Structure 1
């Protein structure tokens, strides 16, 4: 019988990436081993955290250690987030430009979340996942 106190341990290593596409590559490689599917959006990242796609089952307790999270906090901070929103606005459809402009305005005024904060919030919204910022 498996020890029920033993959580699956997943490590996200910030030294392996410095931007959002790099983050998606990193989480794809650690969460989606042996699958052809890759994470490419915030919604896609949220979806794989439900489990059943890669290295853990749906609802299985897991622990994610985000190594060098301070580096990611800077890499995926204000500037990266502003660029992320500006690119979506420039691209237009299918994005909700009004909503994205509001998010950009909030960010600039100091009320909005950075990409790092959004990613942390997505992880923390999954009750079976313990996040450790290292």
Structure 2
């Protein structure tokens, strides 16, 4: 059984949209002295460590309480809204992939924001960070 230097708990009852998720992550992963960006790239940077409550490389267990609520809150409707917003300001080279993701979300196919975030929080096998995710 792996030992963890930190166990961090995010609670789906504390937010109901992507902006609220970022606020919850900031509350749990930092001591408030390090402002985080509210985007997926900034989340990935935070997960690596060194900018919050744990150091780079430390093994961390992330517990996501009330994950079923978050799965709905960050589901296909939120995902479609996210990609619709991104389409308005993305680089032209990204338009095709964002349009595909938007079309998928509107068709209730493909990854939702919840799926994308879960994959990010639990991708330690890629050696980008050393986090493991448990959905509760």
TM-score with structure 2 length normalisation?
A: 0.87
Matches within 5 A, 1:1-134: 5-89=3-87, 91-94=88-91, 96-127=94-125, 128-134=130-136
Deviations 1:69-123 (A, max 9, x none): 000000000111011111112x234472222001112333444100000000111
Deviates most, 109-118 or 43-52? 109-118
Deviates most, 35-44 or 49-58? 35-44
What secondary structure does 2:48 align onto? coil
Indicate the RMSD between aligned Cα atoms, in angstroms: 1.7
What secondary structure does 2:63 align onto? strand
Q: Which runs of 5+ in 2 are unaligned?
A: none
Q: Distance between the aligned counterparts of 2:32 and 2:108, measured in 1? A: 40
CA contact (8 A) 1:25 1:39 kept: no
Q: Are the structure 2 counterparts of residues 34 and 92 from structure 1 closer, same or farther at C-alpha, using a change threshold of 3 Å?
A: closer
Q: Which runs of 5+ in 1 are unaligned?
A: none
Aligned length: 130
Deviates most, 91-100 or 110-119? 91-100
